Amino acid sequence: MGNICSISISLDGIFSSCQDYTASRAKYMYKLEDNLAVLQTELQKLTEARDDVITRVIIAEQQQMKRLNQVQGWLSRVQAVEFEVGEMIRDSSEEIEKLCLGGYCSKNYQSSYKFGKKVAEKLKLVATLRGEGAFQVVAERVIIPKSAVEERPSEPMVGLESTFDEVWRCLEENQAEGFNVVIWVTVSKELQLEKIQENIGKRLAHFDEMWKHEEAWKLFQKKVGEDTLSCHPDIPEIAEIVAKECGGLPLALITIGRAMAYKKTPQEWRYAVQVLRGSAFEFPGMGKEVYPLLKFSYDSLSSDTVRTCFLYCSLFPEDYSVSRRHLIDCWIGEGFLKDHDSINDVQDQGYYIIGVLLHACLLEEDGDDCVKMHDVLRDMALWIACEIEKKSENFLVRAGIGITDLPDVEKWKDVRRISLMENQLGYLSVIPTCPHLQTLFLNYNSLETIKSSFFQYMPTLRVLNLSYNDSLRELPSGISTLVSLQHLDLSETAIKVIPEELKALINLKCLNLENTSSLHTIPQQLISTFSKLHVLRMFNCGFVCQTKDSVLSGDGEFLVKELIGLKQLNMLSISLKSYNALQIFLSFNKLQSCTQSLCLLYFENSKPINFLSLANMKHLDSLSIWNCKYLQELKINYAGEVQKVLQTRGFRSLQTVHIDYCLKLRDLTWLVLAPNLKVIKISSCTGMEEVISVQKLEEVPGLMGNLNPFAKLQSLKLHHLHKLKSIYRDALPFPHMKEMIVYECPVLRKLPLDSRSVKESNFVIEGGKQWWEELQWADQATQSAFHLCFKSR
């Protein structure tokens, strides 16, 4: 019939195998909660190791080294795992709820098994990554190809031969590091470290101004992906805005680019712009990936004072350029800087801290006297203040976003610093309760009215800035409740009267009334009550005063007498309106020594101003002489007094000079004794024939050979000088000159320039076209050198 095959099967074996298989799958479920707890712990250890590696990488990159590819690959894998584990942990509560019978069974067996297995696998991966992260070396030195550098001749090193030989000998010694390229840089005594670094970086292809419009955009496009960018015609344009918000920072470009890779509607992109401009730390990845890396520089700062000063800079709007002087005034008012008995020590401390922040690249220079904060660093600072250190540094910043109404005042209760500057606020009619508020910026708005009780519940307010509200004509009497106030800025407002109630502000350290031309009344004996005043700014304050009981009345003698009693005053800017007031002022050495800006205006007589007395103002950086139409000269005995000025280093601090409507002045030869001048503006001086008189300089033996006039000058403006024939007889070097603006100077036929005078590539000469065409040049080379510099208006 056929063969019969007999098969014998052991049911015990099958049962045993099934039991093992079921048990192995079940362990992913009943161990799920334990595995999740271990995973979180191991992930924490991994991220700590990651942070240590990143710190080493940052330090190495600061030494111009390049991170290893294997290190970058490991960091990328850690980042991916961190993201994946984060999602798993967020989903874990839902999976745990499915378990029953102590974890041995599940309402959805397949789902729980898969999730448990995934957790176990990730646990192994995290352990593996921890082992791989024990790097001996994280970066290597970059070998620069010789073609990146070209040998260029340098000027002879007169007097430096021995120094050069010593440096070269050190480089050749065995213990010195090896170099592929050696660059010898000639540095002027006006050291600008950042400029040197920038120029060397450009030469070695490590720096490129185009990084912010071209390379940054390419990197961002790559991380977002072409599919996303092409899915709607509006997205590319919005994407460029998002990329610009990264400020050229590669780390931010990568993080934000990845986050936006799956956002395929213009609505999502527009919302991303709003988030980045408002609370960038809420953007996915910024608070976990970007800011912790940048925070290393913040954590490395030398003291809590410096860190606090850095965070304070985030109160200003994006791309805002703030003067060092204004920033330091705020810091003094906040009490960040230590009080010293010595004049100017507090100011010097402020400048020192700014220097520390510049050196750490947490601030950047913006012109000569201003600094600003990179947008991403500003966002990081707000993240630190609002999220990391919110108990001590809770900020509310809505600066420069165009709001017309106050943000919800109910949220002000726990805030310590509020910035609402650069908006369109018109009326302050609410009564906020702010028991902890220390700083309130309301400057650059459209304020017209402030409710008297607005300040009623701000007992700890120390800094109040109302400046640049040109519709604000009066202060509320309720300002007297601010008994803790130390800094009050009313500059550039239309305030007419300083109320008597301000006498209650006995803790005031800084008072700024600059450019309040409408101000006509400051009650007598008010300023003298501010016994703790360190800084008083009254430059161009109260043009015309007809109120008898005002300290501004008369010629200024009342004001000067009140200033004498301010024992702690160490920084003063002031306008004086008579020769007599000036003489009284100059008779007090304390007032001379603390004067930073001085304006002399409306002098009605022809008495010459004592030149030596002005030179004794060691900290004078700005001098204006306006509407002194009978003033014929600054009284100078060139043969005798000039040598005294040179010996005592007078006018060393002077940077800005503005002379206007002084009809009798014929020259300003004394300017050659101010070696650090940066800005000169002369206008409507119809009797002026020359700026610098060589004839007068020749009266001083040996002076001509030792002068280098205008070596620091950046801007020269000459307006309506109908008799002006000469600026200076000979051609001069202007190594820092950026602009020379000449209008209505019809007999000025020659400029003190030759083909080597100016080094600035963006130098501009501005004036009338006819005047330009009639100018006489030293030679054809000079005319050719400045041919493209002219700008007609």
- Residue with the bigger pLDDT between 194 and 223: it is 223
* Burial call 686-695: b when 16+ CB within 10 Å, e when fewer: ebbebbbbee
What is the chain's mean pLDDT, rounded?
81
Ramachandran area for residue 47 (φ above 0: left; ψ -120 to 50: alpha; else beta): alpha
DSSP 703-761: TGGG--TTTT--EEEEES-TT--BS-SS---BTT--EEEEES-TT----S--TTSB--T
Could you tell me what percent of the chain has a pLDDT over 90?
Answer: 37
210 confidence band (pLDDT: 50, 70, 90): very low
Q: What is the mean pLDDT of residues 304-320?
A: 93
CATH number of the 311-388 domain: 1.10.10
Query: What pLDDT is recorded for position 6?
Result: 40
pLDDT value of position 69: 81
pLDDT tens digit sequence for 267-284: 888 888 877 776 666 666
Would you state the pLDDT for residue 563? 93
**Number of neighbours of residue 443 by Cβ within 10 angstroms:** 24
CA dist., res. 742 & res. 750, Å (int): 12
Q: What proportion of the chain, given as a percentage, has pLDDT over 70?
A: 77
pLDDT at 368 over 60: yes
Using the predicted structure, report yes or no on whether residue 702 has a pLDDT greater than 80.
no
pLDDT at 379: 86
Tens of pLDDT, residue by residue over 87-100, are 777 667 677 766 66
**pLDDT over threshold 70, residue 138:** yes
90 compared with 221, residue with greater pLDDT: 221
Q: What is the pLDDT of residue 29?
A: 64
pLDDT of residue 288: 62
Q: Are strands 139-141 and 65-67 parallel, antiparallel or unpaired?
A: antiparallel
Alpha-carbon distance values, 553 to 10, 491, 518, 631, 635 (Å):
117, 20, 14, 22, 28
Global model pTM greater than 0.75: no
Distance between CA atoms of residues 351 and 327, nearest Å = 10
pLDDT bucket at 341, cuts 50 / 70 / 90:
low
| Residue 52 CB contacts under 8 Å (≥ 6 apart), including other chains | none
Asked if 216 and 248 count as a contact pair (C-beta separation under 8 A), the reply is: yes
What is the assigned CATH class of domain 209-277?
mainly alpha
Of the listed ranges 124-128, 653-657, 763-767, the one predicted with least confidence: 124-128
Q: Return the DSSP state at 146.
A: G
In this predicted structure, the answer to whether residue 339 has a pLDDT above a threshold of 70 is no
> pLDDT digit string (tens) for 460-511?
999 999 999 999 999 999 999 999 999 999 999 999 999 999 999 999 999 9
187 C-beta neighbours (distance < 10 Å), count: 10
Q: Where are the domains of the chain?
A: 16-141, 209-277, 311-388
Give the confidence band of 350 by pLDDT, cuts at 50, 70, 90: very high
* Band (692; pLDDT cuts 50, 70, 90): very high
pLDDT band at 749 (very low <50, low <70, confident <90, very high): very high
pLDDT of residue 160: 47
Q: How high is the pLDDT of residue 404?
A: 93
Least confident span in 33-42, 417-426, 533-542: 33-42
Q: Please state the rounded mean pLDDT for residues 194-206.
A: 49
Give 792's pLDDT tier (boundaries 50, 70, 90): confident
pLDDT in tens, 626-648: 998 888 776 666 556 666 777 66
3-class SS of residue 521: strand
